Amino acid sequence: MNSEAEILLRTQTEKRRLLRWRIAALLFFLTALVVAVGKGHPVAVDLGGRPHIARVVIKGVIGNDVSRITTALKKAQNSPSVTGLLVVVDSPGGGVTGGERLHDAIEQFASKKPVVVTMGDMGASAAYMLSVPAQHIVALPSTLTGSIGVILQRPDVSPLLGRVGIDVAAITSGAMKDQTDPTSHLTPEGKAMLQGLVNDLFDQFVGMVSKGRHLSEEKVRSLADGRAYTGRQAISLGLIDELGDEDAARLWLRKQLKIGNAQYPVMPLLSETSRHWYDFPHRRAILEGVFGAGIMEKMDRQLAISSLDGAVAILQP
């Protein structure tokens, strides 16, 4: 083959390869866009009718806007037909504000009716925070739970801006006003201020665990260095009550309600008919066929994390 033919062949090969990368990049962008803006919203279920147990699922990264869940919990709390609450948790945590609001709503419910939490793969950080008001927590031996702690990430891009010749001048009313701005240099005083915020949020978290789990604050602080515990470790530390699955949690709740062997419905607190665009099986299958199931799960998680503002309580992968 002469040199001109070889050059032509290489050029065509490179063009095809570049085209494939462009198509893949476009698909990735469109998928990210769908994930970011194509979210459905849970809808409260009609709680009228015969007595039943309400079941709510807390899955994935917890956002700070949890108003639909808290509103539904308040409605269920005041409904005479709802006799108990089953909370199914499978989450690494998320926003401190979202975790706190769910904690308070579940605490209010638990002050009137029995609540049990069952944990799947994870029930850590903010997901553990919302679980502690329950009268009973069930986890699998391999569940990752605990991870009691708070993190506030504050990037500092001012050195990079300086290297490219960009100077950002902040005109502030006080020395701390620009210390949350990533384009401003983080001063020692600013770092101390942000550390104070984290410390206060952490103190609140410790207080919630201490109250909900009936443990001394000293005991909780000794466990609260941010590490996660397996379910088998957590039960010996008093962070959970029982090793088991959802069936074990339902059995505990039935005993509290003195149901015995009678038929007793468990109804979803929120409708599952409103979903993400990509959660429908045939659509999800197409996306997983292009990117793989693992990539889709990571994308879901990273986009959810990136949407959080402020401090988070989350078990980082």
Q: How far is CA 297 from CA 239, 265, 284, 288, 305, in A?
A: 28, 32, 11, 9, 12
Task: Provide the terminal-to-terminal Cα distance of the chain, rounded to the nearest Å.
Answer: 52
The answer to whether 117 and 249 are in contact (CB under 8 A) is: yes
CA distance 153 to 159: 17
For the question of residue 125 being annotated catalytic, the response is yes
CA distance 169 to 184: 8
Catalytic residue among 15, 59, 112, 177: 177
Structure tokens at 231: 């379910």
Catalytic residue among 91, 125, 131, 210: 125
For the question of residue 112 being annotated catalytic, the response is no
CA distance 106 to 85: 9
Instruction: Give the β-pairing of 144-146 and 228-230.
Output: antiparallel
CA distance 205 to 202: 5
- Catalytic amino acids? 125, 177
